[in-house]
Structure 1
Amino acid sequence: MTYTLLGPDGRGYRSPVKGRWGGHRAARIYGRLDCPSARRAIACGGYVRQRVFFADEATAIAAGFRPCARCCADRYRKWKNGEPWKR
């Protein structure tokens, strides 16, 4: 089985390994796969068409995504305040 992940350039590629981080393509937000906000949106029938996956957090950041305010609150606060937040 192969999975489609986004690379640092924002383009999809095939991987034999599942992504470890998820994101929303239109909103340019990334977060944990178990994010309560993402799970709620998916359960309500939304989000799925815009869902993307990343191999790691650094790749999500390189692709221009910002941290989720819910599941990555510490990183989000730093991002929002203009502080260094990248791991």
Structure 2
Amino acid sequence: MINHLDLGLTTFSRFRALQLLLVTGQITLVGNRKLKIYGKIYCGAGKRMKPANRVFFTDEQEALTAGYRPCGHCMPHEYKLWKQQYGN
């Protein structure tokens, strides 16, 4: 798990570091630290969250291991499976 603010001191440096991580495939998912939800990079909900709450994951297993659940908006199939297994 990579914290967004740990990628650099300025918005530009974080943007450049994030681009490099995306291009090299080191991150594929984004998560919200406070809500414990992860989703796809392009998800609208993920784009709106505060950088201080944003974390990045290499894969789905890393996110699940960290205690996050799938986003119901951008990952509806994974969310349904998670809800059947862990939900109420």
How many residue pairs get matched? 68
Runs of at least 5 residues in structure 2 that lack an aligned partner in the other structure: 7-19
Query: Which residue among 30, 53, 64 is the counterpart of 1:22?
Result: 30
| TM-score normalised to structure 1 length | 0.64
Q: For 1:38 and 1:17, how far apart are their aligned partners in 2?
A: 17
SS across alignment from 2:39: strand
RMSD: 2.5
| TM-score normalised to structure 2 length | 0.63
- Compute the displacement of 1:48 (Å): 2.1
Aligned to 1:32: 40
Instruction: Give the helix-richer structure, 1 or 2.
Output: 2
SS across alignment from 1:17: helix
Aligned to 1:53: 56
Instruction: Give the strand-richer structure, 1 or 2.
Output: 1
Q: For 1:5 and 1:49, how far apart are their aligned partners in 2?
A: 11
For residue 35 of structure 2, what is the amino acid of its counterpart?
A
SS across alignment from 2:38: strand
For residue 53 of structure 1, what is the amino acid of its counterpart?
F
Q: For 1:17 and 1:81, how far apart are their aligned partners in 2?
A: 32
Q: For 1:37 and 1:17, how far apart are their aligned partners in 2?
A: 20
Q: For 1:61 and 1:73, how far apart are their aligned partners in 2?
A: 15
Q: For 2:41 and 2:52, how far apart are their aligned partners in 1?
A: 16
